[in-house]
Amino acid sequence: TLMQQQQQQQQQQQQQQTKAIPPAAMMLTKSLRWACVAALCAASDVSSDGLVPLSHGASWPGCAEEGICVFTEEFLRSFTGRRGSVASSEDKAAGLPDSTILVSVASYVFNVTSAPQYYRPDFGNYGKLAGREASRALGMMSMEDEDVDSHLLADLTEDQWEELFNWIDKFQGKYPLVGRLTGWKPLVTMEDINERSGFSLKPPPISEQLTASADAEPFGFSASDL
């Protein structure tokens, strides 16, 4: 398949690059990678109980400018780029998505609208990831529904973990960070991920922090809950 061919090509390129880089340079490369991801760590602060507190901010799209949006999985799935021609005036007034494409990686939500050739569901190679938490699919380089629909990371191999870390690098370097995904359950802790990678990623906000109300914003919580 196309995905398998791309994965084989990437693995061959990585092997060739690894052979060409001396150990000292390899350590520098990893240090630069870890430093690069530090920008993600500034997205929110960790409270004393290890959870990411919700920040004050407007509903979509205002919160995206500061990277402080918090998405439920259900709301994230509406950002596939397909609503642009069919969104009603009521939807637009409520701040619901238009042609925006969002993808979550390790619970960090990125705006990938600038790359429809990859992420538009109707023709992109990674179109199935639009509006999804994509960590497992990217780590495994699999667009199978069972992987796209799953948050599980506990069974990844070392090579698959490294693939995922490379994707995190790619996303943070190329696409705007707009917020975080709540309810991410990879069955590994963020501490485990950080220990494997050298990153300092923050835990995502938990669902219990979001409270629905009659005055709820499109995210499923009101501004007073932030």
Is the residue at 76 inside a domain?
Answer: yes
Domain assignment present for residue 2? The answer is no
DSSP-assigned letters across all residues of 161-215: HHHHHHHHHHHHHHS-EEEEESS---SS-HHHHHHHH---PPPPPPGGG----TT
pTM of the complete model: 0.69
What average pLDDT does range 200-206 have in this prediction? 89
Q: How far apart are CA 123 and CA 30, in angstroms?
A: 34
Question: In the chain, pLDDT over 90 holds for what percent of residues?
Answer: 49
Q: Where in the sequence is the domain holding 127, given as residue range(s)?
A: 32-214
pLDDT at 98 over 60: yes
Any domain includes 18: no
Could you report the per-residue pLDDT of 106-140, keeping only the tens digit for each?
999 999 999 999 999 988 999 999 999 999 999 99
**For residue 123, is it within any domain?**
yes
Q: Indicate the number of domains in the chain.
A: 1
Strands, E assignment, the chain: 69-71, 102-105, 108-111, 177-181
Domain-embedded: residue 224: no
Among 179, 208, 202, CA closest to 190? 202
pLDDT digits (tens, 9 = 90+) for 33-60: 444 444 555 444 444 444 444 444 457 7
Tell me if 121 is assigned to some domain: yes
Cα 203 to Cα 94: distance, rounded to the nearest angstrom: 29
Whether the Cβ atoms of residue 156 and residue 140 lie closer than 8 Å to each other = yes
- If you average pLDDT over residues 69-96, what whole number do you get? 70
**Is 118 within the bounds of a domain?**
yes
Query: What is the domain-level CATH number for residue 90?
Result: 3.10.120.10
Edge to edge, the sheet with strand 177-181 lists 69-71, 177-181, 108-111, 102-105
Is 16 inside a domain boundary?
no
